[in-house]
Chains A and B, each alone.
Chain A
Amino acid sequence: MISDLNHCFPLRRGRVHEVFGAAAFGFAAVACAQARGDLLWITEGWRAERINPLGLAAFFDPSRLLIAQTKDQTEVLAVAEEALRDGCIGFVVLSLTRPLDLREGRRLQLAAEKGRATGLCLIPEGMGSNATQSRWQAVPLLGANADSTLMRWQIIKNKEGTIGAWNVRWDAAAHRLDVVSTVAKRPCSAPAPA
């Protein structure tokens, strides 16, 4: 059974979610665009990939975004917990490099519940935490026309609801997420090697 994307996206408030895959940054950008209030993006300072505000401008106004650069993952988690608990920030994105144990995952969930803020962890594939509310896989797809942002989103864990997969595209002009077609009808795509 294929469920409706609206049941699981926008991501549920007051919880922490996870996403992995080659289009994880795209997923995070769409999720940020649909969140309210200020945004915080936490990464470890040594990482080579930097988010580009001009690229993000197609999704949301980069002046809403704060970034935090930390020394290691412990600090990433500490900053995320602080920000989630505080509730001033509506949406927190964390880039993780090692798996969370149950205690760390649970602490993030409790903090998010307290502050009514949403968290999203960008994780390496296969390093999900058991405490997460939902886990998504996002991979880019080749679109039929140029300048596309076609992605395949698959929810592979959902604590409250069913799982499913959708092909989506971000409409930058209307600032809206379009569901393109269901997975079954997908003609020309193969999951990208991660």
Chain B
Amino acid sequence: MWFPRLPSDRVLRLRPLDAAFALTQRQANTDRLYCVNLRARRLGLHPGMSFTDAHALCPDLISQPADPPADARFLAMLRRWATRYCPWVGVEAGDGLVLDITGSAHLLGGEADLLADMRARLARAGLAVQIGLADTRGAAWALARHGEGVAQAGAGLAAIGGLPVAALRLDPALVVGLQRLGLRHIADLAAAARAPLARRFGPELMLRLDQALGAQPEQISPQQEPPHYGVRLTLPEPIGLAADVMAGTARLLDQLCAKLKAQAMGARVLQLTLRRVDQANQQVDLRLAGPMRDPARILPLFARGIEAVDAGFGIDQLRLEAVQVEALAAEQSSISLHLRAGHVAPPRKDGLEDLITRIGTRIGLENVQRFLPADSHIPERAFLIAPAAYCAPEAGWVALRPRPLVLFAPEPIQAKGPQPPRAFRWRRMALTTARATGPERIAPEWWLDDENWRHGLRDYWRVETHEGRRLWLFYTPQNPNWCVQGEFA
């Protein structure tokens, strides 16, 4: 199954146009056409042409930048759709699908009906398609791309012999070489002596020929469905007690964790949906501080959320899904086994992650944070605050000059002149300066527009007062003003 104009068909499905249309892609500083629709092709445009040439040929050309990742997603969606015909569906070269319909054609009434059904459905979806059907994958490819057709079973060379050698999935340079020798069709190639050809063009040519004719086997590797981490439990009688819901959740967790273990994954975000008899859904979300798949550790974390659920007239279905999963190596479980068995636990990391999760269920996982060093000389930007669940501790804390223990938003004080004031009032306290160390000049980071640094340079002074407080004052020479920004230990 070959989609000759998949990218432009995809875009035009969303926005039908009755005009010449092309997708462009920037390559080596030139906009080139990536894919054109049928109408543009009739006007003589072709992919690979430069956009300016195309515009000269067709002044009313409508264009849009191409989005290859979206095309790949669309093709993956089509692959999934194609499993309605047979279970073995693979993706072929970014713009085609390969289906092994052996044994499943009769379900739709034979090969002809199956092809008709495919064509009708794809036409309705607005996709141009060329389908080739043959005994081998190579022959089907050749038929799909070069003149569409159905090869009778066992036809072999008879079906594809008339096609050009390019239909053998060969390198373009190789095709040119073959044409120079006068071998234009597959039948010519099959009739020629194998050994000289193999010596001249390498083993690939003969391999492709044999694959197309069925002398060499070739598999279709169907893509696996991504594993689904969801389990559910339907109850004959509604339940309402928290303990019962916990027991149900425990059963689901056992199943889910077995699934996760088989895939060497750990759950990061879990969602428990409780369906009540009156069809109202209650949801319990659990965000974990680290990937986990140990039911004994996860279950207690659900306790708080389940307590808060309003059971109404009762719950008759529980559904547990791991919404977000992360890879988790297998040896982690053995450590948690030790924990469960009550051994003295050497790995503190697991315990800490559990604790972060438990605290996170109460105050929100993003409110449990950690300091990370940042590369800036601005005091309040010299560190980052990041959620502890999503970052590892980082070393590399260097304070070249003494920094205050506590920082707050600058609090202005009454003072004049570039020297620190001898006496000043701060937070309703009268303070007298005993010793002032400084200044340390810090310039704003001009490449970042920071509201707080609008007043320009700052001269920081460390002021020790007779009253004992050691404060961090700054003076802004460009906009004379004094402020207190921090306090030392």
Contacts and interface: CB of A to CB of B under 8 A. Distances in A.
Nearest to A37: B348
Nearest to A138: B489
B352 A55 contact: no
Interface in A58-90: 58-59, 61-71, 75, 78-79, 82-83, 86-89
Main secondary structure of the interface of A (DSSP, over half): mixed
Interface in A115-147: 139-143, 146-147
Given A37-B348, A58-B402, A83-B355, A192 B468 contact: yes
Interface stretch (B92-100, B132-140, B252-260, B378-386): B378-386
Contacts of A52: 379, 383, 403-407, 486
B434 interface: yes
A142 B464 contact: yes
A49 B471 CA distance: 13
A173 interface: no
A170 B489 contact: yes
A161 interface: no
B308 interface: no
Given A26-B489, A48-B408, A146-B464, A63 B397 contact: yes
Contact of A79 (B348, B362, B373): B362
Interface stretch (B13-21, B151-159, B264-272, B387-395): B387-395
Contacts of A182: none
Contact of A50 (B352, B363, B373, B407): B407
Contact of B406 (A49, A61, A75): A49
Contacts of A141: 468
Nearest to B486: A52
A25 B363 contact: no
Given A38-B352, A140-B469, A66 B395 contact: no
B362 A142 contact: no
B464 A29 contact: no
A78 B362 contact: yes
Nearest to A192: B468
A38 B380 CA distance: 24
Interface in B469-489: 469-470, 486-489
Contacts of A190: 466-467
A56 interface: yes
Contacts of A58: 399, 402-403, 489
Interface in B322-360: 348, 351-352, 354-356, 358-359
B464 A143 contact: yes
A143 B399 CA distance: 22
Contacts of B469: 22, 140, 192
Nearest to B436: A146
Contacts of B359: 68, 79, 82-83
Contacts of A49: 406-408
Given A25-B489, A56-B405, A140-B470, A70 B363 contact: yes
A25 B405 contact: yes
Interface stretch (B69-77, B275-283, B364-372): B364-372
A54 interface: yes
B52 interface: no
A6 B465 CA distance: 29
B468 A75 contact: no
B191 interface: no
Nearest to A152: B468
B26 interface: no
Contacts of B234: none
Contact of B368 (A30, A37, A68): A68
B56 interface: no
A88 B351 contact: yes
A45 interface: yes
A50 B408 contact: yes
A63 B393 contact: yes
B441 interface: no
B435 interface: yes
Nearest to A48: B408
A87 B486 CA distance: 33
Interface string A93-133: 00000000000000000000000000000000000000000
B370 A88 contact: no
A63 B405 CA distance: 15
B221 interface: no
A10 interface: no
B216 interface: no
A133 B398 CA distance: 35
Contacts of A29: 405, 489
A23 interface: yes
Nearest to B437: A146
Contacts of B173: none
A147 B437 contact: yes
Given A57-B397, A67-B385, A88-B354, 7 more contacts: A23-B468, A52-B379, A61-B395, A63-B394, A67-B368, A68-B367, A142-B467
Give the 7 A-B CB pairs with smallest separation, nearest first: A26-B489, A63-B393, A140-B468, A192-B468, A55-B405, A53-B371, A88-B351
21 contacts: A23-B468, A25-B406, A50-B407, A53-B371, A54-B383, A54-B399, A55-B403, A55-B405, A58-B402, A59-B489, A61-B395, A62-B371, A63-B397, A66-B356, A69-B367, A86-B354, A88-B351, A140-B488, A190-B466, A192-B469, A193-B429
